[in-house]
A and B are shown apart, each in its own frame.
Chain A
């Protein structure tokens, strides 16, 4: 198989060799021109990257102004570090930020704690032999990953609102007299949000681990069986350790993303009752920037958030290099 290819390659190098003899300098110049020509074809895409990823960094400057959209940046007052001082100086602001940080960290930690679930899901699903059942379970459990948070909220609404399916069933069974307020209440909101996150992502998260399980060398299991290892022993001592590298990488990335819960889930679920405990950093930035109309304070906060996130990513990357010898990014 390889022989003809080699011959071709030799021929190719001979053909290429000929014009090169005409003059190295001329060839180099044409080479450079061609190489720059290639570059010009990707410029439009690079412009998009610059506009939407790099150019907004310039917007951080708004955190130093009292920016009023109607007046533009030129007409807005320069206030220096006023917003940053306010974040640590004004008691009401500090209290608010602490609550928001508590919400953010609580939900991130619940998410990190729940990250063992996809692994467990994969390990236990791998123990089922009936292929049709495995496929059915996988099909149904990955489905929620592909719908939007708006639709998740719609499902939550039709299941758990005061006239929803769950309250209706409980009332029919005579277990409750008054409908339970699952959505319009502030109780256990962190846990509820974590559960919706689990519902949406566990099946999908397990796919990565299932593929890793399929790639485990079967002879490991056979020799373990010969040594008299039972089912749980092989699960614990062979399958789980083989999945650890994947788990570690995902864990590191979720630590790096500890401040980035996204806002969509919390935006759709937020209401007048649960606002205090559902407001994570991303939603808070939206609420004060777009609804409360303090664009400059919101910019100051998202700027701090971005800087801390990048620092976290670099730290876990360094940690990963120390522990595993390979970097994450």
Chain B
């Protein structure tokens, strides 16, 4: 297959080799760090602390994953990250579906005015501090809802859905209304089920944003019970040495069973938490590729 296509390209073999090599190198540079984190999180902790694990894991063990759960605040942070991803995604998907649909309805009072008022917010921003002060005024600092409410209405998603709905046959709605269906049942019974492809795109966009979000915790949250995994990881990178001591004092070392290979080090804590943070992304990654591409294509058609 490859040889056939090479000969078809009439003597451009050197070009093909250089081209493929460069891409292989860049792919390696992109993929290797993830591999490095994973093998370090499952190798003997005394070796990983020395930076000796580079290509293959050595002294395989999974104790780190059990032990990071004992780190103070980690299970709670995982819960917060999980909750904001699920609730935030559900809210964004529903809002985008409903608004995207409503903005196609000519009967909506002052439709194009409201549509413009929503879309234009993509292009300006009052700035970090004014937004911070408003969040404070609204009582959203140190509240879980600061993770959800500001992200519910996202103009880009609404444009995606609106474009999608406009491409659906208008007769669907007309036929249903002839049968006496009101606008809400037209939306829930007819449009919502048929919007699945675009809503999947919106859902994945939104889930990734929610899971990866770091800045809102930094700005609005001081209550440790509302820290997210991303925020905890950032703290661990900067203070893992003291953390490792704490883990060793409270962890398996007291019983005398834990060996150098399994007792926690700064490196083992960092890499393990990093893998915990990145694994969900790796798991749903095959979905991304399908729906994300669809999403930006639609966005590109509009933009």
Contacts and interface: CB of A to CB of B under 8 A. Distances in A.
Contacts of B271: 158
A92 to B, nearest CB: 21
B54 to A, nearest CB: 6
A285 B15 CA distance: 48
B237 interface: yes
A44 to B, nearest CB: 9
Closest 5 CB pairs of A and B: A302-B127, A59-B130, A56-B126, A148-B212, A129-B5
A137 B24 contact: yes
Contacts of B174: 8-9, 12
A285 B30 contact: no
Residue of B9, B110, B130 with most chain A CB atoms under a 10 A cut-off: B130
B303 interface: yes
A149 B214 contact: yes
B188 interface: no
A329 B231 CA distance: 34
Given A211-B293, A211-B297, A146 B128 contact: no
Contact of B214 (A8, A49, A158, A264): A264
Interface in A212-228: none
Contacts of B289: 138-139, 142
Contacts of B288: 142, 146
B171 A8 contact: yes
Contacts of B234: 150, 153, 268
B51 A163 contact: yes
A3 to B, nearest CB: 13
Interface string B253-290: 00000000000000100110010011001100100110
B121 interface: yes
Contacts of A249: 303
A77 interface: no
B78 interface: no
Given A203-B30, A285-B127, A52 B274 contact: no
Contacts of B121: 49, 53-54
B127 A165 contact: no
Interface string B214-253: 1100110000000000110110010000000000000000
7 contacts: A38-B105, A52-B150, A130-B1, A133-B20, A150-B214, A153-B237, A264-B215
Given A148-B214, A158-B271, A264-B214, A128 B16 contact: yes
Contacts, number: 259
A323 interface: no
A250 to B, nearest CB: 9
Given A56-B131, A150-B214, A264-B215, 19 more contacts: A36-B109, A39-B108, A49-B121, A49-B153, A52-B149, A60-B126, A60-B127, A137-B26, A149-B214, A151-B212, A158-B33, A163-B51, A268-B214, A290-B219, A298-B128, A298-B129, A302-B128, A306-B124, A306-B125
Given A62-B133, A151-B233, A199 B29 contact: yes
Contact of A303 (B15, B99, B127): B127
B87 interface: no
A231 B33 CA distance: 35
B31 interface: yes
B153 A48 contact: yes
Contacts of B127: 56, 59-60, 285, 299, 302-303, 305-306
B285 A146 contact: yes
Given A147-B278, A158-B270, A35 B171 contact: no
Contact of B134 (A12, A55, A290): A55
A318 interface: no
B150 to A, nearest CB: 5
Given A130-B5, A146-B208, A158-B271, A45 B131 contact: no
B108 A12 contact: no
B214 A48 contact: no
Q: How large is the interface on A (under 10, 10 to 19, 20 to 34, 35 or more residues)?
A: 35 or more
A1 to B, nearest CB: 11
Contact of A128 (B23, B33, B213, B233): B23
Contacts of A53: 121, 124-126
Given A142-B289, A303-B127, A306-B124, A38 B108 contact: yes
Contact of B23 (A124, A151, A282): A124
Contacts of A143: 30-31, 34, 282, 285
B296 interface: yes
B71 to A, nearest CB: 16
Contact of A164 (B1, B51, B132, B153): B51
B294 to A, nearest CB: 10
B30 A147 contact: no
A69 B95 CA distance: 34
A91 to B, nearest CB: 24
Contacts of B5: 129-130
Contacts of B16: 127-128
A8 B174 CA distance: 9
Interface string A248-291: 01000000000000011001100000000000001001100110
A140 B31 CA distance: 5
Contacts of B285: 139, 143, 146
A165 B107 CA distance: 62
A52 B233 contact: no
B42 to A, nearest CB: 14
A247 interface: no
